[in-house]
């Protein structure tokens, strides 16, 4: 008999940091022994889920008119220099390649892409000539590298992360703004509605917008320790990059104009960190059915003094049946005790567990346990397909309802600076009155950061041109001047 697995059991709410560290190892999500800081091996249990996440997001992008492409990973240094604010922001975080082979020193340094604006836009200037070439909507699924100097953590903060970036070009500002809105809608459709992740989009203040862009909008999720984690962001670039990279077109009247641009960046590996953290519980992972690496596990309940041949064959036949229906199914025929098997698959987030013993075999029944709510029931074997079809949306609803309720209960308000500190101790978002979202509001943001190690996340996005109203006479929580905006403050990763 194999050594008994006593299961994963860490209180996520009381010690999320320990929970996260241990589940990454216990559920075999990442191998951190790769001898390079900030670089991890994504193991099959993570990579399968990430692959499904890529597929969902890529499908949404292509449904909305984007086409895939692949651009080089190395970027000549002079490409960066074309947009001053962009290079000033990214240069300190770039990995540089300076030599090929053993002795061939390059005349110009090559950057391992930290993001792809500078790699793609020089090419865009060659592709785009006429208004007939627009809109151009391109995405690529790739890795990017950033020399992260803070403490790195698997999936949450790596030096190599996996993402999708969409870079779009339009003839008019109106079309570009519509794309920004569409990016947000895609984010809600996929992250919230398909994966059950609650998020809020914030219009970032000017001091926190993407370098080289005019406006940035980012989706914030709330982690179990009630710190926020930025997920997909979308940016309105206006004509900044078009002018730097000479992206121009001839309009219907043969007049030359600069294009308008946007970009959208769902970071799959970081969203994966949020997914496992938000849905997980003290037993380990819980995952939406569509994203689970193993969707159904079949556990034979074997008796030591009985012939197991018929029972095991029944399990293998059932596995074949479910795989033919495209369900990722495994039979746990190891010599571990049934309880150890349950712990093992629960920690890995397997949504459905089927147990088959001599009693079930005799009656042509199956005992099924659901990971999302822990419920267990016995059904006729002939009803299994119908049962799974019904369970799939129920599992997502369970996860989504629980996380949404928790998320919505973690927004607070503060009307003065001292109260802000007290509310931040509770975790989550704190609504405050604020003087300005432009650069002159940075002093108040810095004051909050120095006192409470928290960040001003921005104004809650409602729709373009609208935001939450500030009460008459309200004063800025930082400087006491007239408040112009309702901002949200939180401690962040």
Tens-digit pLDDT profile for residues 229-241? 999 999 999 999 9
Tens digits of per-residue pLDDT, 372-428?
999 999 999 999 999 999 999 999 999 999 999 999 999 999 999 999 999 999 999
Q: Are 382 and 364 in contact (CB under 8 A)?
A: yes
Tokens for 195?
């994966």
Q: Which residues pair with 166 in a beta bridge?
A: 139, 264
Taking 70 as the threshold, does the pLDDT of residue 3 lie above it? no
Structure confidence at residue 116 (pLDDT): 92
Structure confidence at residue 151 (pLDDT): 83
Which of 93-97, 148-152, 166-170, 436-440 is least confident? 148-152
Q: Is 95 exposed, middle or buried (0-12, 13-18, 19+ CB in 10 A)?
A: middle
- What residue spans of 334-436 are helical by DSSP H? 338-347, 358-363, 384-408, 417-425
Q: How large is the average pLDDT for residues 263-291?
A: 98
Taking 70 as the threshold, does the pLDDT of residue 370 lie above it? yes
Q: Is 5 helix (H, G, I), strand (E, B) or coil?
A: coil
Residue 9 sits at φ, ψ, to 5 deg, of: -155, 85
| C-alpha to C-alpha distances, 414 to 292, 424, 483, nearest whole angstrom | 40, 9, 13
DSSP type of residue 291 = G
Q: Are 192 and 119 in contact (CB under 8 A)?
A: no
Tokens for 105?
């020193």
Q: How much is the pTM?
A: 0.95
Taking the CB of residue 305, how many other CB atoms lie within 10 A of it? 4
Does residue 6 or residue 61 have the better pLDDT?
61
Tell me the Ramachandran region of residue 374: left when phi exceeds 0, alpha when psi lies from -120 to 50, beta otherwise: left
The structural domains of the chain, ordered by start, are 16-279 (3.30.930.10), 294-395 (3.40.50.800), 411-490 (3.30.110.30)
Work out whether strand 260-265 and strand 228-238 pair parallel, antiparallel, or are unpaired: antiparallel
DSSP string, 372-385: TT--EEEEEGGGHH
* H or E stretch at 490: strand 485-490
Tens digits of per-residue pLDDT, 41-84?
999 999 999 999 999 999 999 999 999 999 999 999 988 777 66
Taking the CB of residue 3, how many other CB atoms lie within 10 A of it? 8
Q: How large is the average pLDDT for residues 144-173?
A: 93
Taking 80 as the threshold, does the pLDDT of residue 307 lie above it? no
Question: Mean pLDDT in the chain?
Answer: 95
DSSP percent split of the chain into helix, strand, coil, nearest 5: 40, 30, 35
Structure confidence at residue 35 (pLDDT): 86
Structure confidence at residue 149 (pLDDT): 79
Give the angle subtended at the CA of 338 by the CAs of 336 and 339, to the nearest 5°.
Answer: 100
Taking the CB of residue 394, how many other CB atoms lie within 10 A of it? 13
Tell me the Ramachandran region of residue 381: left when phi exceeds 0, alpha when psi lies from -120 to 50, beta otherwise: alpha
DSSP string, 195-242: T----EEEE--GGGSPTT-SEEEEEEEE-TTS-EEEEEEEEEEETHHH
Using CA atoms, how far apart are residues 272 and 269, in angstroms rounded to an integer?
5
Tens digits of per-residue pLDDT, 283-299?
999 999 999 999 999 99
CA dihedral 284, 288, 292, 297 (to 10 degrees): 80
User: SS in 3 state form for 82-105?
Assistant: CCHHHHHHHHHHCEEEEEECCCEE
Distance of CA 101 to the CA centre of its chain: 37
């Amino acid at each position: 008999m194999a050594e008994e697995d006593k299961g994963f059991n860490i209180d996520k709410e009381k010690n999320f940091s320990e929970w996260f560290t241990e589940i990454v190892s216990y559920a075999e999500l990442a191998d951190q022994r790769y001898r390079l800081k900030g670089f991890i091996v994504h193991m099959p249990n993570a990579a399968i889920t990430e692959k499904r996440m890529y597929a969902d997001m890529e499908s949404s992008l292509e449904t909305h008119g984007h086409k895939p492409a692949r651009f080089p990973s190395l970027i000549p240094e002079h490409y960066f220099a074309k947009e001053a604010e962009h290079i000033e922001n990214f240069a300190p975080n770039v990995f540089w390649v300076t030599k090929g082979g053993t002795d061939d020193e390059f005349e110009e340094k090559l950057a391992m892409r930290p993001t792809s604006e500078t790699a793609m836009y020089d090419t865009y200037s060659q592709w785009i000539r006429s208004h007939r070439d627009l809109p151009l909507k391109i995405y690529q699924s790739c890795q990017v590298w950033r020399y992260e100097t803070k403490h790195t953590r698997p999936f949450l903060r790596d030096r190599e992360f996996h993402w999708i970036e969409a870079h779009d070009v339009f003839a008019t500002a109106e079309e570009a703004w519509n794309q920004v809105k569409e990016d947000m809608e895609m984010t809600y459709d996929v992250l919230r509605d398909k994966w059950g992740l609650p998020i809020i989009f914030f219009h970032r203040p000017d001091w926190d917008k993407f370098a080289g862009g005019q406006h940035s909008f980012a989706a914030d999720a709330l982690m179990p320790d009630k710190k926020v984690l930025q997920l997909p962001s979308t940016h309105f670039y206006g004509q900044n990059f078009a002018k730097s990279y000479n992206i121009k077109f001839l309009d219907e009247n043969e007049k030359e104009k600069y294009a308008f641009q946007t970009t959208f960046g769902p970071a799959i590996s970081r969203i994966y960190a949020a997914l496992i953290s938000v849905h997980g519980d003290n037993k380990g992972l819980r995952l939406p059915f569509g994203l689970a690496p193993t969707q159904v596990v079949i556990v034979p309940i074997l008796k030591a003094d009985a012939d197991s041949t018929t029972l095991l064959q029944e399990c293998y036949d059932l596995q074949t049946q479910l795989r033919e229906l495209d369900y990722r199914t495994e039979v746990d025929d190891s010599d571990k005790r049934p309880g150890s098997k349950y712990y093992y698959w629960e920690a890995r987030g397997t949504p459905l567990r089927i147990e088959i013993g001599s009693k079930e075999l005799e009656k042509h029944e199956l005992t099924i346990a659901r990971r999302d709510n822990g419920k267990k029931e016995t059904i006729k074997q002939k009803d299994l397909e119908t049962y799974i079809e019904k369970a799939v949306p129920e599992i997502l609803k369970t996860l989504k309802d629980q996380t949404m309720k928790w998320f919505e209960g973690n927004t607070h308000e503060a009307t003065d600076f001292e109260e802000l500190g007290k509310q931040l101790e509770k975790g989550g978002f704190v609504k405050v009155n604020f003087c300005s979202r432009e650069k002159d509001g940075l002093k108040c943001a810095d004051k909050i950061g120095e006192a409470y190690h928290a960040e001003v996340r921005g104004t809650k996005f409602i729709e373009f041109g609208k935001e939450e109203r500030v009460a008459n006479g309200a004063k800025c929580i930082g400087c006491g001047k007239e408040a112009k905006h309702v901002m949200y403050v939180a401690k962040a990763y």
